[in-house]
Structure formats: C-alpha cells, structure tokens
Chains A and B, each alone.
Chain A
Amino acid sequence: MMTHVRMFGRMVGLNVTMTIAYRAAFFALMVSSVIQPVVSLLVMLTIESQGADLPFDRSQLVTYYLLLSFVAICTGCWVGEYLAEGIRDGELSNTLVRPVPYIYNFVTNNIGEKIVKLPLLLPILIVIALLFRSELSLPSDPLRWIGFGIAVVFAAATAFLLDFALGSLAFWIKDVSGLFRIKDLLQGLLAGQFVPLALFPPAFAPFLEVQPFRYTLSFPLEVLAGTLDGAALVRGFAWQIGYSVVLWLCYRVIWHYGLKSYEAVGR
C-alpha cells in the first residue's frame, strides 16, 4: 500500500515536471479556455440588460461563468482517446508489466497537469474578475465554499471515470472517436457549459437532475451559487457520489473482462 502511495506521488511529480517544460504553451491554452465562457457571459449580460426575466441576476451570471472556467479546468479530461490508442496500438503491453495499476498513468498525468494549469489560470481569472468587478459578488458563507470544494473533487472523479470507462471500450470497439464526439456534444449541452442548466425549460428539470453530465461541471457551481435547497443538495451529492462509485465499478468490470480479451500487437 505504502509503495503504491509513494509511486503515485513520484508519478505526479514527474508529470508536473513534464508539464512545466511546456508552461508557455499551457498558459496559452488557459487563455484559450476562458474565451468561450466569457463570450457566453457577454451574450447573457446583453440579454439580461434588455430586461429579460432570467432566473439569474447579473452578479450570479458573472460568478457562474467566471468559476465555470475554473471548474472546467479542475474537472477537465483528455484520457479517453489516449487510452483507446494505447489499447489499439499495443502500447498498453509496456505498462502492464509495471508494478502499479495502469490507471495510475492517467490519474497522475491528469493531476500533474492540473497542478500546473491552475496557477496559470489564476491570473487570467483575476483579470476577468477585475473587468467585471462591479458585478461580481462571491458568496461569503464558508460552508458553501467547502461544499463547492467537495463537489469539485467528485466532479473531477466522475468526469475522469466516465472518460476512462468509455475509452476502455477500445478493448472491443476498434474506433471509439465517434463515441467521444457524441459524448463531447452531450457534455457541452448537458453539463451547463454554454447555458446554465437552470435556464432549460422546467419540463426538463427531472431529466437534468439524473443525467451524469450535470455532476461533472454544473453541480459544484449550483452548490456555490446557493440555488439548491437542503433536500436538493443532499440528492445532488448522493447522485454525484453514486455516479463516481458506479463508474468506478464499470471501470473494474470492463478491465477485468477487457484484459482477458486483449491481444497485444507485438512491438
């Protein structure tokens, strides 16, 4: 157990070092990542200033889209297609013989890159916050921030495991890129990336609450914004933790059967 923890730490460190080597490119990537949320915010502010009766006021809109960039980086995922490629081209064989589970490569890469990305994102967010300072009002209740933090961690886990489970289907499906395109499309819409889920027609609310993408991005923001009552909060956390556990079980089952059917391409 201790060996695993130590190796995990080393692998995170390694990934941090590798990412820092490309810090300038990663900074550009962070600037790029805020473009879409800022554009969405500007459009929503225009609609709001026309007197539209939105369920969000101006300061809530600013808070939502500002922190959206932050949560999106915290929960961001790029494992699926790399994993699928590793399974397809036999690179998986090289790492299977290592003394740590294969998933560690991807978890540590994910954490390592985020350790570098978040400090690079921070100054950009501060600049945006200053631009909108007259309309920004972050909640002061520490409990909400703690709830937000927990929700972000589980959101990252849910997003990661969803990606990993889908990518693992490459054991049986040769080309998973179509699958990921569908997933990206659904996630764009159903995670609240463009429009907060609260703006969807009320008839969709029961569906929006149970679908997994809400728990990868929107839910932490809802916790922080304080738009959920006590019962909805408990339900939300239950769904989120439930999705993390179920997706983890999916990963275990897929890998149990997947490795049996895996035929390495020789290298």
Chain B
Amino acid sequence: MLMHHLRVWRQFWLVAFMRQSAFRANFFLSLFEGLAQVVLVVTTFAIIYQYTPDIAGWTQAQVLIVVGLYRIVDGIINAQVAPNMREIDKYVQTGELDLLLLRPVESQFLVSTRLVALPELINIPIGLALLIYAGLQANLAWSISGILLALMLLLCGTLMIYAVWFMMMALALWFTWSPFESMVGNLFSIGRYPVDFFQRQVRALLTFIVPVAFATTFPAEALLGQLDPLIIVIAPIFALVLLLLSQRFWRWGLRSYGSASS
C-alpha cells in the first residue's frame, strides 16, 4: 500500500517535470522572486539592526540563519504543498472532488500531492547559500549532530505546516470555501522571524497553532546549539498528532461533503 502511494507520488513529479520543462522562463521568474525576497528581508533587518546589536538575544547574523531556513521551507511548501492546498476549495466548488474520490488511492494523499511546482525548488539552494553565509558570519560551529537535528526539525515543522494548512482548507468540505485561504500565506510568512521576537502569547500561538517555530526557529537553535532538548522529543510527536488529526478531519468533512457536480 505504501509502495503503491510512493510510486504514484513519483509519477506526479515525473509529469510535473515533463510539463514544466516546456516553460523554462518560469524557472528564472522563481529564481528572481526568491532572490528578491532575500534582498527585501536582508535589507529590512539591516535597517532595524542599526538601532540595536541584538533583538531578544538574536544577532543579525543569527537572524539571517532563520531567514535562510525560511527560504528552504518556503521552497518546499511552494513546490509541493501550496499548489495543492490552493486547489482544494476549487475541487469542492466544481465537483471535481467526486472524480478524485473515485481513484484507487487515499484521497487526502491525492489532493495533497498531485500538483508540483518544480521551479519553486530553486528557493532551496538560495536559502542554503544564505544559511551558509549567515552561519559563517555568526561563527557557527557546524556539527553533524546539529545539522541532522535541524533537518529533522525542519521536516517535522514542514509536515506540521502542511497539516494545519490542510485542515484550514478542508473547511471547504462544509462551507465550499475556506476563510483562511487568503490568510495562510501571511500567517506562515511570520516564520522568517525567530519566535523569540514576540510576546509570550504570540510565541505560544506560533508554536502550537500556526507551528512555524518548528520549521525555522527551532532548526536555527539546533544549529546554534541553543535548542531546548525537550523540543527534540515534542517535534516528531506533535507532527504525528497533527497529521493524524488532519486525516480524521478530512474523513469527517467528507461525510458532510454533498458534491456539487451535475
């Protein structure tokens, strides 16, 4: 069953590659956009850091590590998650969901993976380059364990973002649209700031409700060797809980789904 789904997923990537290699200009557009985002954020922080040597204990170089990590996560999300999430309410509105439900694969898996925006992957090397540069600036002591830990947290954080976003969009099963559709992008972009920049309640919100902390702040702390060990245990458990919750939520929603097709 798992192998079958993995094979289907690989096919989605192959199809995306075949289709999108016809539109090579989009790749340069994504490259430009990714670089522009970096320039914007780096300039903004350069302006702010004129007035202070650190913000909530984060130096400018350390913050740029978070920005680099955010770019990597943003690349993964924009390539694999966002294109699919943006379609979910449309599947409901047009009745296309009926056809998707008939296919011999898990429906949540299908609506979450079938579209891939390959050019967005360019954000991963852009983020990596910024991360390495910022790490050198911050005199980071690179360690294998720190890198592996950061990678694990980044993966858990990305899965959490997917699960929360998916549940927000699954509301369309009841209401045919999701009030969060226009909000998610702005909410998840808070991930480019370390959560320590915010007051306690906001920090809790960004850790457990809109869990961007796991995707960017905690991996940065892992690289810097400042991570609370408790997070290492919490992250995979919380990711699993959110994924299971999203599955429950989707199945519950499907029961109320009335179909709009003619």
Chain A positions 24 through 54: 1 when the CB is less than 8 Å from some CB of chain B, otherwise 0: 1101110110011001001110110010111
Residue of A47, A182, A201 most packed against chain B (CB within 10 A): A47
Chain B positions 109 through 141: 1 when the CB is less than 8 Å from some CB of chain A, otherwise 0: 000000000000000000000000000000000
Contact A47 B51 (CB under 8 A): yes
Chain A positions 195 through 209: 1 when the CB is less than 8 Å from some CB of chain B, otherwise 0: 100011100000000
Contact B32 A28 (CB under 8 A): no
A residues near B231, Cβ cutoff 8 Å: none
Contact B55 A185 (CB under 8 A): no
The reply on B190 being an interface residue by CB < 8 A is yes
Residue ID in chain A nearest B44 by CB atoms: A194
Contact A28 B55 (CB under 8 A): no
A residues near B51, Cβ cutoff 8 Å: 47, 52-54, 199
A residues near B182, Cβ cutoff 8 Å: 25, 28-29, 32
B residues near A29, Cβ cutoff 8 Å: 182
What is the bound-complex CA distance between A31 and B178, given in angstroms?
13
A residues near B193, Cβ cutoff 8 Å: 39, 43
Shortest A34–chain B CB gap in Å is 9
The reply on B197 being an interface residue by CB < 8 A is yes
Contact B186 A199 (CB under 8 A): no
Chain A positions 1 through 40: 1 when the CB is less than 8 Å from some CB of chain B, otherwise 0: 0000000000000000000000011011101100110010
For the residues of A in contact with B, the DSSP-based class is: helix
Residue ID in chain A nearest B36 by CB atoms: A185
B residues near A27, Cβ cutoff 8 Å: 179
Contact A46 B197 (CB under 8 A): yes
Q: Which of A39, A185, A199 contacts B40 (CB 8 A)?
A: A185
Q: Which of B44, B55, B197 contacts A189 (CB 8 A)?
A: B44
The reply on B3 being an interface residue by CB < 8 A is no
Shortest A159–chain B CB gap in Å is 19
For chain B, the bracket of interface size reads 20 to 34
What is the bound-complex CA distance between A70 and B183, given in angstroms?
17
Shortest A127–chain B CB gap in Å is 15
A residues near B180, Cβ cutoff 8 Å: 28
Contact B52 A52 (CB under 8 A): yes
What is the bound-complex CA distance between A225 and B89, given in angstroms?
43
Shortest B256–chain A CB gap in Å is 19
The reply on A181 being an interface residue by CB < 8 A is yes
Shortest B209–chain A CB gap in Å is 13
Residue ID in chain A nearest B183 by CB atoms: A32
Contact B48 A199 (CB under 8 A): yes
The reply on A178 being an interface residue by CB < 8 A is yes
Shortest A119–chain B CB gap in Å is 18
Chain A positions 156 through 194: 1 when the CB is less than 8 Å from some CB of chain B, otherwise 0: 000000000000000000000110011001001100001
The reply on B14 being an interface residue by CB < 8 A is no
A residues near B52, Cβ cutoff 8 Å: 47, 50, 52
Shortest A230–chain B CB gap in Å is 27
Contact B197 A43 (CB under 8 A): yes
Contact A201 B50 (CB under 8 A): yes
A residues near B199, Cβ cutoff 8 Å: 42, 46
Shortest A195–chain B CB gap in Å is 5
Contact B56 A28 (CB under 8 A): no
- Some 10 contacts from A to B, beta carbons below 8 A apart, are A32-B182, A35-B183, A39-B193, A42-B197, A43-B48, A44-B48, A46-B199, A50-B52, A181-B32, A181-B36
A interface residues with partner B (beta carbon < 8 Å):
24-25, 27-29, 31-32, 35-36, 39, 42-44, 46-47, 50, 52-54, 177-178, 181-182, 185, 188-189, 194-195, 199-201
Query: A47-B55, A195-B47 provided; 11 other pairs, C-beta below 8 A?
Result: A28-B182, A35-B190, A43-B48, A46-B55, A46-B199, A50-B52, A181-B36, A182-B36, A185-B39, A189-B43, A201-B47
B interface residues with partner A (beta carbon < 8 Å):
29, 32-33, 36, 39-40, 43-44, 47-48, 50-52, 55-56, 177, 179-183, 186-187, 189-190, 193, 197-199, 202
